[in-house]
Amino acid sequence: MVVEQRELLEFYQSQIEELKKQNTALEGRVVSTEVGVEALREDNSCRRKVAFSFASGLNDSLGPLSTDTILVFSKKITNVGNAYSKITGVFTAPLRGVYYFRFNVLGYSSSYRLAVCLYKNEEKILDVTEFPKGQYEYAVGGATLLLQEGDQVYVKLRSNSQIIDNIDNHCTFSGFLLFAK
């Protein structure tokens, strides 16, 4: 009986030693993980944040105009990083990266089309055209763009086109940095 108790005691002691080794290894992994999380927090806090969303600020119609015209979305919803100008209607990339942009505009006229284009610098990226025919119609577009620092993105209302908006913010332009590159 004494021999069995001694063997049992030795068995438990070996199990305790093994658990101590595992615990030490786990403590090392926890410390390593904590260091990694802290490094990610620091990296994220240093990372530039860029996101904007503006409504037109109109309470009526705009257009038709005789030339293509940059739409100025002047009613701020958000402007993290202040890269969008509500004076010029132009987003200027503060750093090289991949960005996503989206716009929607509303038309109603039975006489004029609803046509807008998304531009990067002076290059037309996409063109969206609707013919409302006296009914409410949205023109919606979006694109993911690789921008260099200083590149400009904006929405133009095409000539002989018309949009309408009111306090419900039917016409908006938004964008955000997906990741720096």
Beta-carbon contacts of 14 under 8 Å, excluding residues fewer than 6 positions away, are none
Tell me what pLDDT residue 23 has.
Answer: 81
In tens digits, the chain (181 residues) has pLDDT values of 666 777 777 777 877 788 777 787 778 787 777 777 776 666 655 578 999 999 999 999 999 999 999 999 999 999 999 999 999 999 999 999 999 999 999 999 889 999 999 999 999 999 999 999 889 999 999 999 999 999 999 999 999 999 999 999 999 999 999 999 8
Which pLDDT score, from 0 to 100, does residue 21 have?
79
Closest by Cα among 150, 171, 152, 176 to 72: 171
What integer pLDDT is reported at residue 54 of this predicted model?
97
Can you give the residue ranges of every domain in the chain? Answer: 1-46, 51-180
Sign, Cα dihedral of 134, 128, 153, 68: negative
**So what's the pLDDT on residue 1?**
66
Cis peptide before 94 (omega within 30 of 0): no
Taking the domain 51-180, which CATH number applies?
2.60.120.40
In the DSSP assignment, the letter for residue 159 is: T
Residue 157's contacts (CB-CB under 8 Å, 6 or more residues apart) are 62, 63, 65, 68, 69, 70, 71, 105, 115, 116, 163
pLDDT at 41: 67
pLDDT at 87 (0 to 100): 97
